[in-house]
Chains A and B, each alone.
Chain A
Amino acid sequence: MDIWGYRRPDGRAGIRNHVLILSTIVCANEVADRIFRSVEGVVPVVHPHGCGQLGVDFEQTKRTLVGVALNPNVASVLVVGLGCEKMEAKMVAGEIAAGGKRVETLVIQEAGGTSKAVRQGIDLAEKLVRQARAVPLAPISMEDLVLGLECGGSDTTSGLAGNPAVGVASDMLLADGGTVILSETAEIIGAEHLLARRAVSGEVAQELLAIVRSAEGDAVRMGVDLRGTQPSPGNIAGGLTTIEEKSLGCLRKAGTGQVQGILKYAQAPPGKGLYVMDTPGQDVESVTGMVAGGCQLVLFTTGRGTPVGCPIAPVIKITGNPRTFETMEENMDINAGTIIRGEETIDQVGKRIYDLMRAVAGGQLTKAEVLKHYEFAITRIGPSI
């Protein structure tokens, strides 16, 4: 059975048809945000970066911005820049156009200031929305999906219920021929030996161990106890005691698939199957990296409850904590707390998650989409200079 979506010129499949207002620089955020608020049918990407960045740090920010613009859920892009920044709007727009996507560029200094730029931007955005609405629906399939796996605000129910149920759904998508990305390197610490055994080759296993060593090495070099953030204070209140315990629970999201390769932050997977992306444990930065790598859909488990979404990809929220489902039902799509209560099995909830993924791929909105949660954050490698 096919799903109705959007077939893009590069062959990839979108499950949304967004017109993206993309700020390339912190100085353009306000103008980008005013355009977003004035036009129906667009989504915003704003961030505090784009200037004072050098080397690999600059390259990573650029890769992320171009990556989200090229995400198949995006129909077209309005790039908004200031005019004097390192992350030049015209350069970013050029890379997006080279990727086969319709793009318009707005430079605030050329437009003649805030008000003129906002007026021009509204005109350009409205034109892009009209064009996007003319894109015809096309049949796509689960095989076309690139799924991102994320957990945030974890507690012990995440490892017992939410994550293993997601693992079942992840395995089902892999069986369909789809692609899955596991993220958050810091949350593999203590469980990397189990994941490394599932690597397709010794080389991939070594790459996995290397990124985990590097994440742990950051904490050791800084002379800090990783427990300052891993587990976080909320994780600890929820019963998680150590990073090893958190990681062993996190890993259950990735089901039983074989690891095909390790991806850099915001890098697109080169093939189908299960991949691990080197992202930080900060949820929004991690989701942003996976979406820049082409994820059209994210499964996000939470024990404590978190409202975060994403401007580009629908985020399906799953909680393994029955109390959190009751207190934050507005934000939760799936109650996996039935597993803790003994009312459903892990497999039954996994099947429900898979069915919801199909429905969301076909256009059904997630709670985070209805609430317009558009969190976006790019991780940094170097300092601002």
Chain B
Amino acid sequence: MDAIIIGAAETDVLGRNPGQSVLGLNVEGGLRALADAGLEPGQIDGVAGACSPHGVAHALGITPRWVDSTNVGGCSFLMHVRHAAAAIAAGHAARVLVTHGESGRSRTGTVPRPRDPQSWTGQFEEPYGARAPYTRFTLPALRHLHGNGLDETALAQVVVAQRRWSSRVPRAGRRDLMTLGEVLAAPVLAWPFTVPMICMLTDGGGGLVVTASGHATTEQLRRSVRVLGTGENSDPLLVAQVPDPAGDSAARRAADDAFAQARIGRSEIGHVMVYDAFAHLPLIGLECLGLAPAGGAAEMVAAGETSPGGSLPLNTNGGGLAYTHTGMYGMFAIQEAVRQLRHEAAAQVPGVSTSAVLGYGGMFTASSVLVLARN
């Protein structure tokens, strides 16, 4: 695969920004990614995004030959990178702009999502009070903990480890170090999940420019990140019916495809981003990626292996739990992987050259994986 990322940037503000609409956040994310790549909008011929890429293209003055509006939830942006790589290989586009913007906190310019009592979730989940993500995405967590002889302390360890990263990241929304006891004693939203085990709710966005090396300048190649392998997969649309979130699941199948294409072994991965809307996801995700043995992720986290100085740095921006979470976090997981591979991250892992990024979407119902490398 000859796809590379030559532009990557986030919006100036992450957090509370009621003065910017969803469209405005997408446009800013796109413009900053273009500036990072040293490109003008007219040089872009493909656009992708989960929120009206046609509208974003029009606002930026781009006339796209290729459009991808895949929206399967928070991992959509990993799929956009995968689809862009395929489109570029097929000659459908030369340079693709992927944008994200969401007013998750302020709800400015957000298209309302009406309840649909005829949908699967409207019929089989919402009548029970399973509505907010922290009452749905979290449902299988106890089964995973119980099956591996663990309790809620394993969730708290994830928070402790990720705060060690976010405390070093000035742009992170939650930067205070926390002890296990403090995490466990925090207010409970949905037991066993306390507030710090649940992602932030923010406004923000970002953009990526994907191309092939043949379309890139020497200067663009210098800071580029190579897309070695990609995967995507889906599961049943109701979380209760996912066969096993940590076993045979969309994430594991996507990871297997991505590593098969990347032609590198798991042991060669030096940095990991796992979509962490909730504290059980890094544990399940590490196991689905094949970077931790089944049931062994919690022990790795507790031993400090995923913390600064550990053997497998994980969620080095602090993750959705502590950096930012607009509602669809996947864009920010990719951004941090790119920063790490460019050696430009706030909490830089020394000498890192490979990264695996795992995204989840729609309460475990979709997943995508990117294997990236320093070019």
Partners in one complex: no
| Chain B residues packing against A (C-beta within 8 Å) | none
| Chain A residues packing against B (C-beta within 8 Å) | none
